A and B are shown apart, each in its own frame.
Chain A
Amino acid sequence: MVTLTINGVETAVERGSTILEAAQFLGFPIPTLCHMEGLSPYGACRLCVVEIGNGSRTQLVTSCTYPVVEGMTVRTASVRVVRTRRMIVELLLASCPQSKTIQDIASALDVRQQRFRQEHDDCILCGRCVRMCAEQMAAGAIGFRSRGSHRSIGTPFDVPSVKCRLCGGCMYVCPACELRCTYTEPDKAICGGCANLAPPCVSKPRFDDMMCFLRPCVACEIKPD
């Protein structure tokens, strides 16, 4: 067992745990995007950063990948952490504003504006779909291509995949497309928002060919009876 202090609370967890697991065990909320129970930790979204260390030599690390160390001090919501998280959320909103998951995280952190040029990407490259396909579905049909601002997710050389079994797992785990808010008239019972879905990573000839696990959009939930 490893002893560590989180937010002033001393606790002991199994060796090999991550800081995120320890914090969740104690009930401290840490926002995440690329992390998912059942998938290996990746550390791409940087939202889960926490502050470790003491005095002037503190460091921000991603709690989902950082292993617990005997005697470490962790702060999950220090001023520096919150300030950093808010900037990350601004960047997320600047890229992918229509994702309800990202909007919810923004609301929780009280971020109401983003100060960058607005883009409308469908993908935040968190890699959940890649890991889902490889680790849970044992297919590995999609992966990352290219580097930097050209980085994207898809099949090798965009050739339609023979490995893909059309399970829909990639869409199921996607935080950007799982709750898409593309409609603004809640009194319309059928908004058809999910039909506008166009996952960028997998190219299938017809929407019908994909198994869709989208949760009901808020529009449907608040329709008047």
Chain B
Amino acid sequence: MERLRSIDEFHGLCERLRIDRGGDGLPTIVIPAGTCGQASGANDLIRIAKRTVLERGLGDRVRLRITGCHGYCQAEPSVLVEPQRTFYPRLASDSMARIVEAVVENRVLEDLLFVDPATGRRVERQDDVPFFAHQRRRLIARNEGVDPIRIFNAVERGGYTAFVRLLESGKPEDVIDALRQAGLRGRGGAGFPTWRKWTMLAEQPAGRGKFLVCNADEGDPGAYMDRSLLEGNPHSILEGMLIGAFTTRATEGVVYVRAEYPLAIKHLTIALRQARELGLLGADILGTGFDFDVSLVRGAGAFVCGEETALIASVEGRMGEPRQRPPFPVQRGIDSRPTVINNVETWANVPVIVGDTAPSDAREGSDRDRGTKIFSLVGKIANTGLVEVPIGTPIADIVYGIGGGSSSGKRIKAVQTGGPSGGCIPASRFDLPIDYDSLKQAGSIMGSGGMIVMDVDTCMVDVAKYFMNFLRDESCGKCFTCRKGTQRMHEILEDIGEGRGTLEQIDLLEELAEVVRDTSMCGLGQSAANPVLSTLRYFRDEYRRHVVNHRCDAFVCSRLVGAPCQTACPLGTEAWRYVAHIARGEVDEAYRVIRETNPFPSVCARACDHPCEERCRAGTSGGTAVAIRALKRFVTDRADPAAHHPARRSWPNGDPPRVAVIGAGPAGLTAAHRLSLAGCRVTVFEADAAPGGMLFCAIPSYRLPREVVKREIDALLDDNIEMCCSTALGRDITVDGLFGSGYGAVLLAMGAHKSRPLALPGEDAPGVFPSIEFLKSFNIRGEQLAKGRVAVIGGGNSAIDAARTAMRQRDVESVTILYRRTRHEMPAFQEEIDAAIEEGIALETLVAPTQIGTTNGVFSHLECVRNTLGDPDASGRRSPVPIPGSEFRLELDTLIVAISEDSGVDAITPARGGRIEITDHNTVMIDRETMETSRYGVFAAGDVTTGPNTIVQAIAAGRRAAEMIELFLLGEPLEKPATATLPRVYVEPPPSLDVEAAPGERVETPRASVAWRRRNFAEVEVTLSPDEARREAGRCLRCDLEFTRPAERELAKVGG
């Protein structure tokens, strides 16, 4: 190209380019092809687009522009059509030819448009897509218009114009003023006011020349804003540096770019060459006598070289090590000459600010900080990408408004800003505005703009360890405290994550972090403490859980998790072990394993909510969890519970003590069983006519047959246990009376049997039933209370139980469940909801009752209103909000209220003179570790302490209570040291699994047909066949072998 020799020639070129472009009215297909675009397949799109245009001779009907990244990385490879701004996301390469044709014919391809997940509707224009709509894209939007390897394109779009205008008639003071007005602060993270830094450089003597440096080292993991600016619009950085040189009289420029950005290096190299050829860079620019050239220096893989003085050392060819400041680089920098170092994004902002002729009241941002900042939004977020927003935008707007909320469906816990030098901000503080000062006060930093979203499956101890590992590797090692401090902090975090930590170590960690922060020479060490200190500040309880309870609740730290199925089970049942036995065909062994921890295996095999399956590793990364519950059912259906003889002990000293258990539900019976095995004599008092609690009176028999419950309970009762049914606390017996009769301890396990009322008038009208009473009336007395059109209000298991029971009753026509949120939020087991819908029960979501209507004193209709999901509350869940004007009426015959249950504490409260404390939620207050109530000798376990809960939680509580009562009766301290439940027993994998049976899909639990189910209460689920069971058990990934296989154990001893 011909070199421009004067400013007039530059203006002439701009004119010609504008004339060339304008007025031809051709549409342009824009394909973003930054590194992320290319990685997801943009190159194929480009190739096919070019070929289509060439083959069909469409070169004079459509234009093609290849650009850098547009920011919506989640949606790439994508295509943008101008000027219509049509947006086609996530394209497969075979769609490209169709798109070319459609653009030429001015059509829109509906099936390829973006679908808004919130509304389900298609969106045509990019600017209406929520991800883009809520941003303020001053810098990133320019990437859409510029082809980075064609300088004429950049010039035509306004590139270099601001600089040339300055050359023509501007003064350095104008630039300083503009920067000060705009409030530009360094975008690398420290936030130093740019105008001030440039003023200091301008004041330095000219001497041997002055340097301007663009810091493109961008070392933070997860941050790639600078990369997209360099790849997409390198001329904007060069223009910024030219303006900087004009303002500060700098003579040389350096772009220090990390070697891991090959595309950025390539585009920068091309841009530099083209700029020099055109005469916009180098000696005597545009004939004005102004000299400035820029050289490219590549980094060599050191994060620390992003630090000013280390960067300077690297440019000088020395090892990347920081040095003491003062003197600062602006006084003594590269080769001891005055140097200013600014971040890529800062430089990119300069031409925009200087060229901005808009009035000052149109400025972006909050009062203290102005302008926009680009953030790389990554992690457990639905819309991953680069996001540009005004500084001061609240975090919640970015995470939920632009980011689209959680990608995993689980609650978002925290956001990490500023990379390894930054800290975590918990979800409770998402109202915080993103600016330099408020982030600093919250314990984090703005940093370069990385924003990592974390959900409840992220372990904060692991996060701190991850960053400390990074910093330890990247520390240059000069400062003893940074080098050793990061190493030791990582050591301590490793100890905590592997179950060796102590509470003293947590304090030591904090102390050490502060020393590292205070004594390090450079920013790396000074901010190395941030990940540790901020996670300690907001998530200290997670550290404590690791140290004291040996639990990683996010299931991340593998030495604490062991086999996730076992650790997820409140009982610690070795699910991996009995599944392994099933795979070997050893059904009796499997049963014995189950009985070691669970006295109600047949019950759990039918009605457990299987937390083990939720954590099964086979269910991660798109797979399906092993059907553990169905496998347990397979085993329990073949074993006779009475054939299992657990080990019995006799009471060590003197006469066996007597224990009173109140309530014969799963918690009470488990406790009684274990106390009996320990040698105690137990009397179980039950208010109903038969034992079983909720197992008997609430859970319907099509889920849990009566005979199964009875058989299981009978197997637990023995000579040490006496059952007293139809005996109620308060009415027939009292706690004082029991102690008076010689009982050594009392266990309260009455459960939560009282339905919670809606608190609407008319709730006591005939035809309205609380769900527990409705279920009990049928299960115990056989009364069929439901008639005609039935509605059930609620979304939990008891609502589904009530609905499916009503559906089977004689005079019922229809059953509808009404729930105030959406199906996704319903707490009932998913498979129960599926079964209900299969059986013809209607599910109406986002509906809330407002009034109960009666006719002649009898229930006849229900007034309702429709809801919408409103803003997320502090926990991140969206709350239901009634829509005004959406009221409607349902004509009904029966209403069942199933919103929740309360514990049966009425029997205790009259004894308030008695000393058993009740919580605000009407549950019995206990110490969670010792299971003691506030009254000496009285313990409590199960739903009466927690409110409605699962069966397996009740069993676990009963077991713990029995252990504590045993210690209490022996006079020993009520302590049970916590350990991680790691697999310890080696079960050899079966000799050869079916080779052709690919470990594919999860087995389908056989069920009775819907037609057959409709009018009877026989069990719906059927057992697996031996073949099905073996094959399903073979799908297990054997997470236990890591801990138990002899070879692994040997390796562990040697330290391999």
Which A residues form the contact surface with B (CB < 8 A)? Answer: 42-47, 49, 60, 62, 65-67, 80, 83-84, 87-88, 91-92, 94-95, 115-117, 124-127, 144, 146-151
Across the two chains, which residue of chain A brings its CB closest to B516? A87
- Contact between chains at A84 and B521 (CB < 8 Å): no
Once A94-B488, A115-B504, A144-B319 are accepted as A-B contacts, the answer to whether A60 and B518 lie under 8 Å apart by CB is yes
- Contact between chains at B480 and A147 (CB < 8 Å): no
Residues of A within 8 A of B519 (CB): 46, 49, 60, 62, 84, 88
Once A147-B475, A148-B473 are accepted as A-B contacts, the answer to whether A43 and B483 lie under 8 Å apart by CB is no
Q: Report how far A43 CA is from B326 CA in the complex, Å.
A: 13
- Contact between chains at A88 and B472 (CB < 8 Å): no
Residues of B within 8 A of A125 (CB): 477-478, 480, 483
Residues of B within 8 A of A46 (CB): 479-481, 519-520
Q: Report how far A89 CA is from B1039 CA in the complex, Å.
A: 43
Q: Report how far A91 CA is from B1020 CA in the complex, Å.
A: 66
Q: Report how far A84 CA is from B122 CA in the complex, Å.
A: 61
- B724 is an interface residue with CB less than 8 A from chain A: no
Q: Which of A45, A115, A117 has the most CB of B within 10 A?
A: A115
Number of interface residues of B (CB under 8 A): 34
Per-residue interface assignment for chain B, residues 452 to 493, with 1 indicating a CB less than 8 Å from any chain A CB and 0 otherwise: 000000000000000000001111111111011111100100
Residues of A within 8 A of B488 (CB): 91, 94, 116
Q: Report how far A34 CA is from B429 CA in the complex, Å.
A: 44
- Contact between chains at A43 and B479 (CB < 8 Å): yes
Contact of B324 among A45, A65, A92, A150 (CB under 8 A): A65
Per CB-CB distance, the 4 closest pairs between chain A and chain B, nearest first, are A151-B477, A65-B324, A148-B475, A87-B515
For the complex with contacts A42-B478, A146-B477, 11 further pairs of A-B residues with Cβ separation under 8 Å are: A43-B521, A45-B480, A46-B480, A49-B518, A88-B481, A88-B515, A91-B484, A91-B485, A147-B477, A148-B477, A149-B475
CB distance from B516 to the nearest CB of A (A): 9
- B304 is an interface residue with CB less than 8 A from chain A: yes
Q: Report how far A49 CA is from B525 CA in the complex, Å.
A: 15
Residues of A within 8 A of B483 (CB): 125, 148-149, 151
Q: Report how far A126 CA is from B481 CA in the complex, Å.
A: 11
- B733 is an interface residue with CB less than 8 A from chain A: no
Across the two chains, which residue of chain B brings its CB closest to A42? B478
- Chain B residues numbered 414-449 whose CB sits less than 8 Å from any CB in chain A: none
Residues of A within 8 A of B487 (CB): 149
- Contact between chains at A147 and B491 (CB < 8 Å): no
CB distance from B103 to the nearest CB of A (A): 51
Q: Report how far A58 CA is from B353 CA in the complex, Å.
A: 36
Q: Report how far A198 CA is from B475 CA in the complex, Å.
A: 27
- Contact between chains at A43 and B324 (CB < 8 Å): yes
Contact of B484 among A47, A95, A126 (CB under 8 A): A95
Residues of A within 8 A of B484 (CB): 91, 94-95
Once A46-B519, A49-B519 are accepted as A-B contacts, the answer to whether A88 and B473 lie under 8 Å apart by CB is no
- Contact between chains at B491 and A117 (CB < 8 Å): yes
Residues of B within 8 A of A94 (CB): 484, 488
- B511 is an interface residue with CB less than 8 A from chain A: yes
Residues of B within 8 A of A148 (CB): 472-477, 483, 486
- B75 is an interface residue with CB less than 8 A from chain A: no
CB distance from A12 to the nearest CB of B (A): 20
- Contact between chains at B491 and A91 (CB < 8 Å): no
Contact of B476 among A42, A83, A126, A147 (CB under 8 A): A147
Residues of A within 8 A of B323 (CB): 43
Which B residues form the contact surface with A (CB < 8 A)? Answer: 302, 304, 319-320, 323-324, 326, 472-481, 483-488, 491, 504-505, 508, 511-512, 515, 518-521
CB distance from B474 to the nearest CB of A (A): 6
Q: Report how far A60 CA is from B324 CA in the complex, Å.
A: 13
- Contact between chains at A84 and B473 (CB < 8 Å): no
CB distance from A96 to the nearest CB of B (A): 10
Q: Which of A42, A66, A88 has the most CB of B within 10 A?
A: A88
Contact of B477 among A91, A116, A149 (CB under 8 A): A149
Q: Report how far A219 CA is from B292 CA in the complex, Å.
A: 67
Residues of A within 8 A of B518 (CB): 49, 60, 80, 84
Residues of B within 8 A of A91 (CB): 480-481, 484-485, 488
CB distance from A74 to the nearest CB of B (A): 15
Q: Report how far A124 CA is from B320 CA in the complex, Å.
A: 19
CB distance from A170 to the nearest CB of B (A): 18
- Contact between chains at A67 and B326 (CB < 8 Å): yes
Q: Report how far A62 CA is from B518 CA in the complex, Å.
A: 11
Once A60-B518, A84-B515, A88-B519 are accepted as A-B contacts, the answer to whether A147 and B302 lie under 8 Å apart by CB is yes
CB distance from A224 to the nearest CB of B (A): 39
- Contact between chains at A66 and B511 (CB < 8 Å): no
Contact of A66 among B324, B477, B504, B508 (CB under 8 A): B324
Q: Report how far A42 CA is from B887 CA in the complex, Å.
A: 77
Q: Report how far A144 CA is from B319 CA in the complex, Å.
A: 9
Residues of A within 8 A of B511 (CB): 87
Q: Report how far A43 CA is from B519 CA in the complex, Å.
A: 10
Q: Report how far A92 CA is from B481 CA in the complex, Å.
A: 9
Across the two chains, which residue of chain B brings its CB closest to A60? B518
Residues of B within 8 A of A60 (CB): 518-519
CB distance from B221 to the nearest CB of A (A): 16
A-B contact pairs, 21 of them (CB 8 A): A43-B323, A45-B480, A46-B520, A60-B518, A60-B519, A62-B324, A62-B521, A84-B515, A84-B518, A88-B481, A88-B515, A91-B481, A91-B485, A91-B488, A125-B478, A126-B480, A127-B478, A146-B477, A148-B486, A149-B477, A149-B483
- Contact between chains at B474 and A147 (CB < 8 Å): yes
Residues of B within 8 A of A115 (CB): 504-505, 508
CB distance from B322 to the nearest CB of A (A): 10
Across the two chains, which residue of chain A brings its CB closest to B471? A148
Q: Report how far A126 CA is from B484 CA in the complex, Å.
A: 12
Residues of A within 8 A of B324 (CB): 43, 62, 65-66
Q: Report how far A116 CA is from B512 CA in the complex, Å.
A: 11
CB distance from A176 to the nearest CB of B (A): 12
Q: Report how far A84 CA is from B520 CA in the complex, Å.
A: 12
Across the two chains, which residue of chain B brings its CB closest to A86? B515
CB distance from B650 to the nearest CB of A (A): 47
CB distance from B871 to the nearest CB of A (A): 38
Residues of B within 8 A of A66 (CB): 324
Residues of B within 8 A of A67 (CB): 326
Q: Report how far A47 CA is from B481 CA in the complex, Å.
A: 9
Q: Report how far A95 CA is from B491 CA in the complex, Å.
A: 13
Residues of A within 8 A of B521 (CB): 43, 62
Across the two chains, which residue of chain A brings its CB closest to B327? A67
Q: Which of B485, B488, B519 has the most CB of A within 10 A?
A: B519
- Contact between chains at B473 and A149 (CB < 8 Å): yes
- Contact between chains at A149 and B491 (CB < 8 Å): no
Q: Report how far A147 CA is from B475 CA in the complex, Å.
A: 7
Across the two chains, which residue of chain A brings its CB closest to B488? A116
Across the two chains, which residue of chain B brings its CB closest to A80? B518
Residues of B within 8 A of A43 (CB): 323-324, 478-479, 521
Residues of B within 8 A of A151 (CB): 476-477, 483
- Contact between chains at A44 and B476 (CB < 8 Å): no
CB distance from A27 to the nearest CB of B (A): 24
Q: Report how far A3 CA is from B481 CA in the complex, Å.
A: 31
Residues of A within 8 A of B515 (CB): 83-84, 87-88
Q: Report how far A45 CA is from B504 CA in the complex, Å.
A: 26
CB distance from B308 to the nearest CB of A (A): 16
CB distance from A15 to the nearest CB of B (A): 13
Across the two chains, which residue of chain A brings its CB closest to B502? A115
Residues of B within 8 A of A147 (CB): 302, 304, 320, 473-477
Contact of B480 among A83, A88, A146 (CB under 8 A): A88
Across the two chains, which residue of chain A brings its CB closest to B485? A91
Q: Report how far A151 CA is from B472 CA in the complex, Å.
A: 11
Across the two chains, which residue of chain A brings its CB closest to B322? A43
Residues of B within 8 A of A83 (CB): 515
Across the two chains, which residue of chain B brings its CB closest to A115? B508
Q: Report how far A94 CA is from B504 CA in the complex, Å.
A: 17
Q: Report how far A94 CA is from B1050 CA in the complex, Å.
A: 30
Across the two chains, which residue of chain A brings its CB closest to B525? A46
